[in-house]
């Protein structure tokens, strides 16, 4: 059993496709295997797993933790279907403010790995969806941040115009607000001698 790891148009965002065995009994897959990810150059120390259950048209996001407790996240949908989005927050990056989107479901088993410098969120497309994600830093409410899900400068193409939102997500700041006090910057290429 192996996995496939694919790049996306936004540097750092990766799609992970585990190998899955299906037969008349159902399916079996390894949802996470550190050695297999290491063979693809991914060596992350995950410290926390999160599991969320949400109902149709609930939108959670766009969330991130600032530079004091940044998190890589490996996201998958274990039941139902979601529309997933990640937004580049690296000031100076050629893709700053751009998004990567994917449909994740219990059928396609696709996972997305995003670096800490990205805000992320998802919209539930099915009646109910359960989302699981691994994190490389513990949840820290004091460094939790949110980016407006409907910011016109980002323009994520959410498939629902009026999602169900938390108060936190309704009041989230814009990308322009983020620029007043950014958390993340693009890394300078290392000079070779």
Domain locations along the chain: 6-12+45-185
Mean pLDDT of 183-192: 70
**Which of 115, 105, 131 has the alpha carbon at shortest distance from 11?**
115
Q: Cα dihedral angle (143, 87, 107, 74), rounded to 10 degrees?
A: -40
| Residues paired with residue 98 on neighbouring β-strands, in sequence order | none
Mean pLDDT, residues 71-85 taken together: 98
**pTM (two decimals):** 0.93
Residue scoring higher pLDDT (2 or 110) = 110
Decide if pLDDT at 11 tops 90. Answer: yes
Output the pLDDT for position 93.
Answer: 95
- The answer on pLDDT for 109 being more than 90 is yes
Torsion angle defined by CA atoms of residues 134, 140, 144 and 149, in that order, rounded to the nearest 10 degrees: 30
Q: Which CATH class is domain 6-12+45-185?
A: mainly beta
* Catalytic machinery residues: 63, 133
Question: Is pLDDT at 49 greater than 80 in this prediction?
Answer: yes
- C-alpha closest to that of 121 among 170, 85, 155: 85
Provide the token pair at 32: 């996470």
State the pLDDT at residue 191: 45
Find the mean pLDDT for residues 13-37: 91
């Amino acid at each position: 059993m192996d996995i496939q790891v694919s790049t996306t148009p936004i540097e750092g965002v990766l799609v992970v496709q585990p190998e899955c065995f299906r037969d008349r009994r159902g399916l079996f897959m390894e949802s996470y295997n550190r050695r297999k990810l290491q063979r693809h150059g991914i060596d992350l120390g995950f410290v926390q797993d999160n599991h969320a259950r949400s109902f149709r048209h609930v939108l959670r996001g766009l969330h991130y933790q600032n530079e004091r407790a940044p998190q890589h996240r490996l996201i998958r949908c274990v039941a139902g279907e979601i529309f997933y989005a990640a937004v580049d927050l690296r000031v100076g990056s050629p893709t700053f403010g751009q998004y990567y989107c994917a449909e994740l479901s219990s059928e396609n088993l696709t996972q997305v790995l995003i670096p800490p410098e990205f805000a992320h969120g998802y919209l539930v497309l099915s009646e109910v969806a359960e989302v699981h994600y691994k994190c490389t830093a513990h949840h820290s409410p004091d460094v939790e941040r949110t980016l407006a899900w409907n910011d016109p400068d980002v323009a994520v193409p959410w498939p629902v115009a009026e999602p169900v939102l938390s108060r936190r997500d309704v009041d989230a700041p814009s990308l322009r607000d983020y620029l007043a006090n950014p958390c993340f910057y693009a890394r300078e290429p290392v000079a070779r001698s």
